[in-house]
Amino acid sequence: MASKFFIRYILMVVIFSVGTWLFADTTLPGKMAEGAGALRRYAKFKFDPSTRLNSLKNTHDLVHSDGAMRVPNESKSSIRSDNIAEELASMIGEGRLVELRRACRMTGERFELDVDAILKLSPSHRPRFYFSDNYQFILCEVPKCGSTDWKKALLAMEGIANYEDGAKIGKPEAHFLGQYLYLWDFYNESNPRSVALTKQRISTYTRIITVREPLQRIVSAYKDKMLPTGTGGSLFAEISKRIHEFYSDSVTANQATNGSHASWKEFVRYLLDKNREVFYDSHWKPISEMCYPCISAYDYVAKLETMHQDAKLISRLLQFDITPFFPASGGEFRHETWSTEYRNYFEELPIVEREKLYDVYALQYLLFGYPKPTFL
């Protein structure tokens, strides 16, 4: 079964990818029509190419199980646009932007949207932008910062998945279907229409980023992608194995389970190695190198630690209820438990390595207003 699933997945990726670079946004209807049958079999979602075509006309409707276009009660009727400014002012969102502006000045940059500078970046360095035309919204996706939940929300916003079923979308399906909303898949720098449309989206859509305590994010990435108990699959298993082979010594090699994956200390050595030969993945890449917060000038900076509360405010900002995708995390007890586990990982390291690792991510602490950990 697994091999059949994998073959089906590869075939669909090939089908949906061909032609994107040549035709930019003009290929979207064709791609959606071509893939509709495969998506029904793969994800079992209600899907209709006409739904995606309608979304390009900036409708604010969602597709329900009966195929009708109507607005869910939760997302519109209870939202009042006239108090968005007051809500923003009463929350800490504006304070985060103030801190970000100040940090940008301290690093010699201006907190000001520069679309031309963004478009001049090489394809591999462009911000990880995902978008919704329905709700005129751009998200910079940051791995280990709720990115899967955000993709589920975006799929519901665009009508690719039913709103009622959106929170039930599995992780593989969310990432697979999310490719339809990756901004740069519809950008062709040699196509004037594509360039103009991309500039319009970036400059006029609400831009949001979700961040996380930088070193907690690294521990989370290690646990999820480097350990056999995580969700990294064969790709990250190979990366973990290579890190182990490059950075192990006689002591840590014996301590590593089965000698086949990277220990925490080996992973830290890898992160500190400026001449590393192993692939440097987005799950531990600094956020500022993926989302360029100063030149992207985000309208709202959400934090994973407070995402349930941020989601309420963002729902008002976007006029779409995203709170079902970001349920309460379990309160202070969960945060205290995680903080203890987080501290334990770093107490394994010599103080010199702790300080060096902090230095790698120090800019993230400055930009997003996180205090330096007390144990450093």
Q: Are 109 and 100 in contact (CB under 8 A)?
A: no
pLDDT > 90: what percent of the chain?
51
Q: Are 150 and 181 in contact (CB under 8 A)?
A: no
**Which of 71, 77, 85, 143 has the alpha carbon at shortest distance from 313?**
85
Confidence of residue 279 (pLDDT cuts 50, 70, 90): confident
Q: Which residue has the higher pLDDT, 359 or 230?
A: 359
Confidence of residue 160 (pLDDT cuts 50, 70, 90): confident
In whole angstroms, what is the distance from residue 373 CA to residue 376 CA?
Answer: 6
Q: What are 104-149's pLDDT values in tens digits?
A: 999 999 999 999 999 999 999 999 999 999 999 999 999 999 999 9
In whole angstroms, what is the distance from residue 375 CA to residue 267 CA?
Answer: 20
In whole angstroms, what is the distance from residue 307 CA to residue 313 CA?
Answer: 10
Q: Are strands 300-303 and 206-211 parallel, antiparallel or unpaired?
A: parallel
**Which of 22, 33, 74 has the alpha carbon at shortest distance from 323?**
74
Burial 245-267 (b: 16+ CB within 10 A, else e): eebbeeebeeebeeeebbbbbbb
In whole angstroms, what is the distance from residue 49 CA to residue 62 CA?
Answer: 13
Predicted TM-score (pTM) of this structure? 0.75
Highest mean pLDDT among 4-13, 42-51, 286-295: 286-295
Amino acid 106: pLDDT: 96
Q: What is the DSSP string of 230-256?
A: SS-HHHHHHHHHHHHHHH--HHHHHHS
Amino acid 167: pLDDT: 66
Q: What are 201-257's pLDDT values in tens digits?
A: 999 999 999 999 999 999 999 999 999 988 888 889 999 999 999 898 754 444 444
